[in-house]
Amino acid sequence: MHILVTGGAGYIGSHTSVVLLEAGHEVIIVDNLSNSKIETIDRIKQITKKELIFYQEDVTDEAAVDAIFSNHSFDGVIHFAGFKAVGESVEFPLKYYYNNTVSTMVLAKYCLKYGVKQFVFSSSATVYGENDVPFVETMELLPTTNPYGETKVISERILTDVAKANRDFAVSLLRYFNPVGAHESGLIGEDPRGIPNNLMPYITKVAKGKLEKLRIFGNDYPTPDGTGVRDYIHVMDLAEGHVAALEKLTPGVHVYNLGTGRGISVLELVKTFEEVNGVKVPYEIVGRRPGDIAESYADVSKAKAELGWTAKRGIREMCRDAWRYECGV
């Protein structure tokens, strides 16, 4: 298949492009490099020893998107492009609502114009809000605590309505839990600009001595050790989940959780990271971070039953691969 990968120079998009190329698909990436580097495109080629086409364009730019669609005959689109920093979305809501929802509408519009019938969307577990764990796809979505989360809810609705109005349009809404780790080559991974917001990149920078210590946001949650519990998933498992979703896509809307189904606490992750990599991660316990929930983990039975996909890599591999990437950066 010929697949348009938006945001393919980014963290999850680059790993998914590797898996797509290795599965024999043709990959065309469009990315404006607002949160990624051009070198990642070369690294994808280096890992796979395959060629791909890259456009440095913004997917909210209709003329640019129209031109890309007219140059190719796509079988499907995987839409990763978007902004993802929760705190920044509170400070600059319009920037987030605009980029994340307009990009979805523009891509859906040109899919319809050019007869592209398969659309895979990067959603997030954040759409479950404060539902009880484990999160199941059939749950009613509850308010998220920030504009970023709302952009995912809105994009899901937009794509659902487009599919209702166009009966041969096939949409897969993939709700990611907490992607971590890196390709085992250490050539691509997560390299956030500035001080990381997320736990794993913060841990690797502390272990490396680039940051002094980890601040653990709260140890008074109703969890076994009091720290927040999340469903961390290896980014390569997540990437494989996209290819499974794409290859099984049929008309209509399909929602899947992509996680491991297992909750890990902040302290458990820190201890595992130290043990696997033989490094220290100094930390202090501080107050809760506003907007955080106590626990998030997936019911993964639907993806297993319908896509034949389950996460294969465990928390030790996630820690090992995240560290290998940090050491190579």
Active site residues: 148
Among 89, 101, 103, 144, binds ligand NAD (CB under 6 A): 103
The smaller minimum CB distance to ligand UFG, of residues 122 and 277, is found at 122
Three-class SS state of 84:
coil
277 touches ligand UFG (CB under 6 A): no
Per the structure block, which two tokens stand in for 155? 């994009």
- The entry of ligand UFG, ligand NAD, none that residue 103 binds, CB within 5 to 8 Å by partner kind: ligand NAD
Three-class SS state of 194:
coil
Q: Which of 85, 328, 322 is nearest to 204 (CA)?
A: 322
10 touches ligand UFG (CB under 6 A): no
197 touches ligand UFG (CB under 6 A): yes
- Residue 121-160 contact track with ligand UFG, rule CB under 6 A, x = bound: ---xxx----------------------------------
Among 37, 157, 215, 248, binds ligand UFG (CB under 6 A): 215
271 touches ligand UFG (CB under 6 A): no
Residue 137 DSSP class: T
- Position with the least CB separation from ligand UFG: 228
244 touches ligand NAD (CB under 6 A): no
Site for ligand UFG in 62-121 (CB under 6 A): 84, 86
Per the structure block, which two tokens stand in for 185? 């080559």
Hey, what amino acid is at 216?
I
- Number of CB atoms found within 10 A of residue 147's CB: 21
- The entry of ligand UFG, ligand NAD, none that residue 18 binds, CB within 5 to 8 Å by partner kind: none
What are phi and psi for residue 118, nearest 5 degrees? -120, 125
Among 61, 247, 268, 292, binds ligand UFG (CB under 6 A): 292
96 touches ligand NAD (CB under 6 A): no
Per the structure block, which two tokens stand in for 290? 């506003």
266 touches ligand UFG (CB under 6 A): yes
59 touches ligand NAD (CB under 6 A): yes
22 touches ligand UFG (CB under 6 A): no
Per the structure block, which two tokens stand in for 66? 């129209």
- Number of CB atoms found within 10 A of residue 190's CB: 23
User: How many residues does the structure list for the chain?
Assistant: 329
If 0-12 CB within 10 Å is exposed, 13-18 middle and 19+ buried, where does residue 209 land?
exposed
Three-class SS state of 120:
strand
**Maximum alpha-carbon separation in the chain:** 55
**Site residues (vs ligand UFG, CB under 6 A):** 84, 86, 124-126, 176-178, 197-199, 202, 214-217, 228, 230, 266, 289, 292, 296
